[in-house]
């Protein structure tokens, strides 16, 4: 069995988005219960609500992805949360890791019900859109699972090492699925994203998946897989055809100050998980762990802060101050709202697509194109700066800009794993975590291992 416990959530959406005005379904709907397009609409609301839970993008994933790497640490004076991530002091029964696993499979189960449903169609375009969104959400969840609970795709020549269980039908309590290979998981992810791209024809706004958000995710998945030509092709499609413009220098601070980033229509956001004044996680929201009006315990590392020059607008998203035992304390202000309308969590944005295009172009041997994409982004963050590097230095510059641009969005740990790089300059012990270390892969939760004899635990756990 997969420990996909249900998450009881309300509506998570931007205030102006009527798509989620009604409460989502919070039960594991079997596909046979989805008889009409309105039933499918209710079920897709439930899938989006699952993404907003604290187990996933509401809290755990963005924090873990930076704290296990070299961007974040827990302050000396803290609320007791996430200390295990900060110090790599956790076991295979860690509640947060178990929450990520169960939360992801809960959302997958919701999407499976949608994908396998056969409703009485009253609007075929709408139903295809909802199913396309379900495919994209399922792909996103499997991408998160395989990046965190398995070694990267390029760990073995044919990616035949263990990934995560693939469950593609309605939830069966008695099922005991084994772990599929990483290659099989990636094949399923890309198949789902191809279906999503084809089926979605509407323009639902950034708080729902669109075909170009799915294409952007496919570009990233192919980058992780090492299919750099396809990663570049897909990234360029998004840059050219999505209609979403790169966030300009003068709008960077406004974008992160605006709790509903979708209000900056046509700028930056391809897909974001929404929270509103009435529908949010309260003291469990992401911003609460950063803001000094909340817990304020998640601080940026000095090594990250020192990568920004004084003319880099992104440096203004970190304030140098004091926090009892930390002086100086590098206080993150990227997520400032802890009351009222809470920050949306941006999952896929066009700036990352430019970074994907730059890295994929470099890896396909087109350094001039790589520089073009890299400098297009950098100009809008640090006017006057222009990279002219070549060879390994150019790749290092692309990865550095990825770290600076996507800081506190949960990207760093997975990126360092993909690149097989040691983690260094951490603020807490261990200050260095070699790529070879078993702790660079999360443990399969103990409850899953106990319940399912077909699940093999990761090495060292």
Model confidence pLDDT, tens digit, residues 286-320: 989 999 999 999 999 999 999 999 999 999 999 99
Tell me if 177 sits within 8 A of 165, measured CB to CB: yes
Task: Report the pLDDT averaged over residues 328-334.
Answer: 96
Helical ranges in 152-258 per DSSP H? 182-199, 211-225, 228-241, 252-257
Q: Which residues contact 172 (CB under 8 A, 6 or more apart)?
A: none
The 10 Å Cβ neighbour count of residue 350 is: 22
DSSP assignment string, 97-117: HHHHHHHHHHHHHHHHHHHT-
pLDDT digits (tens, 9 = 90+) for 95-141: 999 999 999 999 999 999 999 999 998 899 999 999 999 999 999 99
Please give the Cα distance from 173 to 27 (Å, whole number): 14
What pLDDT score was predicted for residue 8? 35
Task: Find, among 80, 75, 51, 11, the residue nearest to 410 by Cα.
Answer: 51
Examine residue 9 and state whether it is found in any structural domain, yes or no: no
The predicted-structure confidence for 352-392, as pLDDT tens digits, reads as follows 999 999 999 999 999 999 999 999 999 999 999 999 999 99
CATH code, domain with 130 = 1.25.40.390
pLDDT at position 324 is: 87
Tokens 């974001």 locate to 272
Q: Could you tell me the pLDDT band of residue 170, with boundaries at 50, 70 and 90? A: confident
State the pLDDT at residue 280. Answer: 75
Residue 20 has pLDDT above 50, yes or no: no
Between CA 220 and CA 228 the distance in angstroms is 10
Q: What is the chain's length?
A: 461
What is the torsional sign of CA 229, 230, 231, 236? positive
Indicate if the pLDDT at residue 23 is higher than 60.
no
* pLDDT confidence tier of residue 3, bands split at 50, 70 and 90: low
158/338: higher pLDDT: 158
Phi/psi at 322 (5° precision): -130, 150
The closest alpha carbon to 294, from 75, 57, 49, belongs to 75
Q: Has residue 233 got a pLDDT over 80?
A: yes
Q: Integer distance in angstroms from the first to the last C-alpha of the chain?
A: 20
Judge whether 7 lies within some domain. no
The yes-or-no verdict on residue 259 having pLDDT over 90 is no
> For residue 370, is it within any domain?
yes
Q: Report if residue 13 sits inside a domain.
A: no
- Residue 318 placed within a domain: yes
User: How confident is the model over 13-28, as a mean pLDDT?
Assistant: 38
Mean pLDDT of the chain: 91
Lowest mean pLDDT of 35-44, 234-243, 302-311, 436-445, name the range.
Answer: 35-44
Report H helices in 226-343: 228-241, 252-257, 302-305
Q: What is the pLDDT of residue 341?
A: 64
Q: Where are the alpha helices (DSSP H) in 149-174?
A: none
Question: What are 392-443's pLDDT values in tens digits?
Answer: 999 999 999 999 999 999 999 999 999 999 999 999 999 999 999 999 999 9
Work out how many domains the chain is built from and give that number: 1
**Domain that includes residue 358, residue range:** 18-451
In a domain, 239, yes or no: yes
Q: Is residue 10 part of a domain?
A: no
> Predicted confidence band at 31 (pLDDT cuts at 50, 70, 90)?
low
Tell me whether residue 5 is in a domain. no
**pLDDT at 276 > cutoff 90:** no
């Amino acid at each position: 069995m997969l420990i996909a416990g249900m998450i009881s959530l309300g509506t998570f959406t931007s205030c102006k988005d009527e798509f989620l005005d009604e409460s989502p379904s919070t039960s594991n709907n079997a596909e046979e219960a989805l008889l009409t397009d309105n039933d499918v609409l209710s079920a897709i609301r439930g899938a989006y609500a699952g993404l907003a839970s604290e187990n996933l993008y509401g809290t755990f994933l963005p924090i873990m992805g930076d704290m296990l790497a070299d961007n974040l640490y827990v302050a000396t004076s803290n609320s007791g949360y996430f200390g295990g991530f900060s110090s790599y002091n956790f076991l295979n029964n860690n509640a947060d890791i178990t929450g990520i696993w169960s939360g992801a499979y809960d959302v997958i189960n919701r999407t499976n019900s949608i994908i396998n449903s056969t409703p009485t169609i009253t609007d075929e375009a709408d139903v295809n859109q909802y199913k396309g969104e379900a495919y994209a959400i399922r792909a996103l969840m499997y991408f998160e699972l395989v990046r965190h609970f398995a070694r990267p795709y390029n760990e073995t020549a044919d990616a035949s090492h263990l990934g995560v269980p693939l469950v593609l039908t309605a939830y069966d309590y008695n099922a005991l699925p084994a772990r599929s290979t990483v290659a099989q998981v990636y094949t399923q992810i890309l198949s789902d994203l191809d279906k999503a791209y084809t089926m979605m024809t509407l323009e639902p706004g950034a708080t729902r998946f669109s075909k170009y958000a799915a294409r952007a995710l496919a570009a990233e998945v192919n980058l992780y897989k090492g299919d750099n030509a396809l990663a570049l092709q897909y990234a360029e499609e998004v840059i050219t055809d999505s209609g979403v413009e790169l966030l300009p220098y003068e709008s960077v601070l406004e974008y992160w100050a605006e709790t509903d980033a979708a209000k900056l229509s046509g700028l930056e956001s391809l897909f974001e998980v929404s929270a509103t004044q009435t529908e949010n996680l309260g003291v469990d929201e992401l911003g609460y762990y950063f803001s000094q009006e909340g817990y304020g315990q998640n601080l940026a590392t000095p090594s990250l802060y020192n990568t920004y020059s004084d003319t880099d607008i992104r440096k203004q998203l970190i304030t140098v101050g004091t926090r009892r035992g930390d002086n100086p304390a590098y206080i993150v202000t990227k997520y400032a709202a802890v009351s009222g309308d809470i920050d949306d969590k941006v999952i896929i944005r066009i700036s990352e697509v430019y970074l994907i295009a730059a890295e994929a172009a470099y890896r396909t041997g087109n350094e001039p194109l790589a520089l073009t994409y890299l400098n297009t982004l950098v100009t809008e963050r640090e006017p006057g700066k222009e990279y002219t590097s070549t060879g390994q230095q150019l790749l290092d510059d692309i990865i550095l800009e990825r770290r600076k641009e996507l800081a506190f969005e949960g990207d760093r740990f997975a990126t360092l794993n993909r690149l097989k790089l040691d983690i260094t300059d951490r603020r807490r012990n261990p200050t260095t975590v070699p790529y070879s270390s078993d702790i660079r892969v999360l443990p399969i939760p103990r409850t899953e291992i106990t319940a399912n004899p077909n699940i093999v635990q990761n090495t060292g756990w």
